[in-house]
Each structure stands twice: as C-alpha cells, then as structure tokens.
Structure 1
Amino acid sequence: MTTRNTYTVTGMTCSHCVNSVDTEIRQIPGVTDVQVDLASGGVTITSDQPLDETAVAAAIDEAGYELVRSS
C-alpha cells in the first residue's frame, strides 16, 4: 500500500537545504520518494507504509529545519 503525505518545512533557503532535507527523509524506513519544493516549503513523501510524523519531524530536525505541525 503506497501512501503519500505532504508536510511544510520552514527555514529552507537554497538547493543545499532541499538536498539536506531530501537526504535525511530518504533514510526513514519505507520511504520510496521525496519531492521538496523550495518556494513553498512543501515536502511530499511517498512511502510503502504509513509514516510516523515524529520520525519525519526528527529527520527534518536532523537536517537543520523545522516541520510545521498541523493544529
């Protein structure tokens, strides 16, 4: 079962930022694709299993940025 979720990340300002976020998220087990849109801060993650938002937030934090959590 493929799942796709979109998140918003703050703090990205350049292609290096995009690459850092992409690299960290791809290390989460089950992730099959990552699309990062620098202009909007949108990150779309495709995975073969549901992802734990805490794991996504930790990966984004490790890259040096912040996940905007929905309220």
Structure 2
Amino acid sequence: MSQTTASFMVEGMTCDGCVSSVKRALAAIDGVDGTDVNLANGEVKVTYDPARVGVSSLRDAIRGAGYEVS
C-alpha cells in the first residue's frame, strides 16, 4: 500500500468544532489514513492511498462539510 500526502488550504474554519467536522468528513472516506488540520493557518494535510481515493474526492468531502478549498 502506497501512501501519499496532499495539502489543502481551507477557508472558513474558525474553531475546534470546524476542525472536527473536516476530520470527520475526511475520515469517512475509504483510503484516507490520517489528517492533520492546522486551524491557525487553515491548512489540512491528508495522508491517503491514491489507489483507493483521489484528490477530487478529498476536496469534495471538505466542501461537503461546508468549507471552501483553494
């Protein structure tokens, strides 16, 4: 199993609840192995298996949680 890390700048996260929402949305995706969310700078790093999930699905999950991804 090969793992890759993708970084996203996420707009709209203002509190620990926001961080939890983003982490939950990403953790629900098959192939996501871990997330690291930095609330201070709005960065989300996702470790995932590219054979099981693509970057577009990760972006969609963050958007689905109610946040903008740049």
After TM superposition, the score normalised by the length of structure 1 is 0.86
Segments of structure 2 that go 5 or more residues without pairing to the other structure are: none
Alignment of 1:52-67 (within 5 A): 52-67=54-69
Displacement of 1:5: 1.1
After superposition, the CA RMSD in angstroms is 1.2
1:36-68: CA deviation from partner (whole Å, max 9, x where unpaired): 000011000001225422211211111110111
Which letter maps to 1:47?
Answer: Y
User: Any runs of at least 4 consecutive aligned residues in structure 1 with deviations exceeding 6 A, and if so which?
Assistant: none
After TM superposition, the score normalised by the length of structure 2 is 0.87
Segments of structure 1 that go 5 or more residues without pairing to the other structure are: none
Correspondence for 2:15: 14
> How many matched pairs?
68
Identity %: 38
